[in-house]
Amino acid sequence: MRNADARQSSLFAMVQSEDRVPKSHPLRKVREATAGAIADMRHRIDAVYPAGKELAAAPEEILRALLLSALYGIPSERRLMEELEYNLLYRWFVGLQLDDQLFDRQTFRKHRDRLEKAGVVRDFASRTLSRLTPSILRNPHFSPNRPLLESWVGQLRWDE
């Protein structure tokens, strides 16, 4: 006799997104590189925002989301927001937990524009990518938006 296709969903699930991302996934190395870049740039990031003002989104999340969209070739902000809404790997990379509210497109755009105008996006991408081996960018997990990455950081070493 065949089992029914219907399943009862759990009322509660104790799942950490960190536990769901494979230890060998190349995005882990990229996330480590972003952490180092953000630590190096802390003073520049803080200088872009007024002290004591509560933000709708953390600038670190915006920076990681921008890098994610370039690495995975996500073609638009609308699509990026959609992917961040349901893709567990992407939420983990950006720094969002499963139950965190996602920032909206206007918030994303406002922060992106502010960070780009201050030169933080270019510096962040450059510092992050300089910490990675070129083979990571050629990994089949990624389909990098090469022109976008090059416009942010100049010529990249893709052939090594």
Show the 3-state SS of the chain. Answer: CCCCCCCCCCCCCCCCHHHHCCCCCHHHHHHHHHHHHHHHHHHHHHHHCCCCCCCCCCHHHHHHHHHHHHHCCCCCHHHHHHHHHHCHHHHHHHCCCCCCCCCCHHHHHHHHHHHHHCCHHHHHHHHHHHCCCHHHHCCCCCCCCHHHHHHHHCCCCCCC
- Residue 19 resides in a domain: no
- Whether 5 is in a domain gets the answer no
Whether 120 maps to a domain, the answer reads yes
- pTM beyond 0.75: yes
User: What pLDDT, in 10s, does the model give residues 82-114?
Assistant: 999 999 999 999 999 888 899 999 999 999 999
Residue 1 within a domain? no
**pLDDT at residue number 52:** 77
Q: Does residue 20 lie within any of the structural domains?
A: no
Residue 160 has pLDDT above 50, yes or no: no
> At residue 147, does pLDDT exceed 90?
no
* pLDDT exceeds 70 at position 36: yes
Domain that residue 129 falls in: 25-153
Asked whether residue 6 is assigned to any structural domain, the reply reads: no
Number of domains in the chain: 1
11 falls within a domain: no
18 part of a folded domain:
no
